[in-house]
Amino acid sequence: MDDDTNSIVEWKWQLLPVDNNLAQPDPEIEKLIATFQEEVDRKYNRLIGRLARQLTHPKREEETDLGNLIADIVAQLDNIDVVPIGSASIRGTKLGPLVTLSDLKIVLPYDGVLYKLKVTGVQLTQIFAYIMRLENRMSEDSCCFQVSKGIQAVYSDSENQLASLSINGQPVQVDAKYTIC
């Protein structure tokens, strides 16, 4: 270290495994950590719900029951017409049948804000035409989305276009306003 310039002049590093061979655990620190562990367990390991069966999300390139459940929960928060959830944001591969807060945080670890906005039927159709493109659904780096119930989107791979889009059995109207989150 050069004290005059407050900069590093030369350095060497070595990776040291931190285990019982390097240093013995401190019983007081272990006791302190244990008190926090009890609080964490009390909050995160409590049962918050039950599902009829285990839901899975094994691949991010396809729509799954677990992804649909998450999208449906968001849709019910405030009468939202369409909720697309990016498959990659679902971090766990299974949930239930017993659900703890810890399980839920593993599956969806985010505490961010949800944004709700109005779009026209034309804009909604453009969104689905873009996200349903074959290249978004068939690659490891896909942009596949889980969608809330009531949404039916049909994409023609041979024509490379969105064939139809409906919400609760009604075709999306070009001039209508839809709430998306």
Domain residues for the domain of 164 are: 49-180
Q: State the pLDDT at residue 164.
A: 97
Does 4 reside within a domain? Answer: no
| Residue 176 pLDDT | 97
Q: What is the pLDDT of residue 143?
A: 75
Q: How long is the chain?
A: 181
Given this model, what pLDDT does residue 160 score? 92
**Number of domains into which the chain is organized:** 1
pLDDT of residue 22: 84
- Residue 37 in any domain: the answer is no
Picking from 43, 53, 44, 47, the residue whose alpha carbon sits closest to that of residue 96 is 53
Phi-psi region for residue 91, left (φ > 0), alpha (ψ -120 to 50) or beta?
alpha
**Residue 21, pLDDT score:** 85
60 in a domain, yes or no?
Answer: yes
- Whose tokens are 């649909």? That residue is 68
- For the entire predicted model, the pTM comes to 0.74
pLDDT in tens, 17-69: 888 888 888 999 999 999 899 899 999 999 999 999 999 998 877 889 999 99
User: Domain holding 104: CATH number?
Assistant: 3.90.780.10
Closest CA to 176 of 116, 117, 121: 121
In a domain, 104, yes or no: yes
Residue 15 confidence (pLDDT): 87
pLDDT tens digits for 100-149? 999 999 999 988 899 999 999 999 999 999 988 888 777 666 678 899 99
Tell me, yes or no, whether 31 lies in a domain.
no
pLDDT tens column, 85-100: 988 899 999 999 999 9
- Mean pLDDT over 140-161 rounds to 88
Which residues lie below 8 Å from residue 40, measured CB to CB, with a gap of 6+?
none
Q: What is the pLDDT of residue 101?
A: 94
C-alpha distances (whole Å) from 141 to each of 64, 73, 129, 147, 155 are: 17, 26, 18, 18, 19
Q: Please tell me the predicted confidence (pLDDT) of residue 134.
A: 84
d(CA 72, CA 41): 28
